[in-house]
Structure 1
């Protein structure tokens, strides 16, 4: 008996949706932990007061509001990404916050081993990719009929995030004298991620 070269395609699997769930949970969990360090002092963080001081040292003022914004964007954005809820807004909030973190670490170069911006750039990139790709079927957005996950919400969220990041970074550059930005102080990678 000769088998036909054409075989019936197998039903599509849910591997892509499962992969998105795992990626969202992993990245969202990391972001939540970093935000909780800033806001609550959990996981060895310095809490709101320590983060305020670090923000002010890096040129982000007012420091308390900057610390709150960064912590909320990381903890809240990470939680929403993990749940797959309002995915475009969550990804945009994280991406904007990571743009600020990149600005702090950029003078040290790319690699995190030298204090560079590799890590925040990667987190911002992944959050952006999740916003564009969508959360997949194993998400609250899917359960809610994607009411909070529409193309226009993604465009609006990234426009607002980019505008806010630009304003914050322009103010920071002005406080630092408009010249080359200072490298992050030792241990800054544990505490601050500048706000959007």
Structure 2
């Protein structure tokens, strides 16, 4: 029969030298910890469903807003052109510099659509679209329109707001930019920019 003092005993002896501040060390634990620390954060990886979905959302929003912008800029798709849109703004209650506002709106819609389609400076493109739709919704409500007369503008605005905080995805020119990797802060900036621009338009042109 073996005894605790027997060198051949299978009983494991406690060795104080294996102790540290957190308890007994285990073989390989230090190397495992070092590997975790060296590996750093998880790399930015391809997510097919998310990136393709964001591409579809960007292209769809760009197609809708781009068509409206071309209607205003060049009179395409039976659009009114700048002059006709300026007259329409007057009928909506805008009293000052309607021609300038028509140019601003047309360029915001067309430029924002182009940026979204390419995935280039996506927060700026989404903010431009969001700013236009905020003014459209406010104007319609002031003219007495209800929810069902503004639901398209609301949907467009929500799509632009979504892209502000998700970023463009990897299928975009922006794929290696800080605002795609960390869209939260840039999305908040874009939201503030769109809101401020809408307030300026409402105050100065109505």
Residue from 127, 131, 151 that aligns with 1:96: 131
Question: 8 Å contact 1:89–1:158 — kept in the other structure?
Answer: no
In 2, distance between residues paired with 1:132 and 1:153?
8
Q: Note the C-alpha offset of 1:170.
A: 3.0
- Once residues 164 and 170 of structure 2 are traced to their aligned partners in structure 1, the CA distance between those partners, rounded to angstroms, is 14
Structure 1 residue 159: Cα displacement:
1.7
1:21 to 48, 55, 62: 55
Number of positions where the alignment pairs a residue of Structure 1 with one of Structure 2? 157
52-61 vs 126-135, greater mean Cα deviation: 52-61
Indicate the residue corresponding to 1:63 in structure 2: 98
Greater relative CO (CA pairs within 8 A, separation 6+): 1
TM, length-normalised to structure 2 = 0.70
Q: 1:147 deviation in Å?
A: 4.7
Q: Paired residue for 1:39, among 73, 84, 87?
A: 73
Cα shift at 1:155? 2.9
Q: 2:146 is matched with which residue: 81, 91, 109?
A: 109
Q: Residues 13 and 163 from structure 1, CA distance in 2 versus in 1: closer, same or farther, beyond 3 angstroms? A: closer
The structure number with the bigger radius of gyration is: 2
Gaps of 5+ in 1: 1-10, 176-196
Q: Secondary structure at the match of 1:42?
A: coil
CA RMSD of aligned residues (A): 1.9
TM-score, structure 1 normalization: 0.74
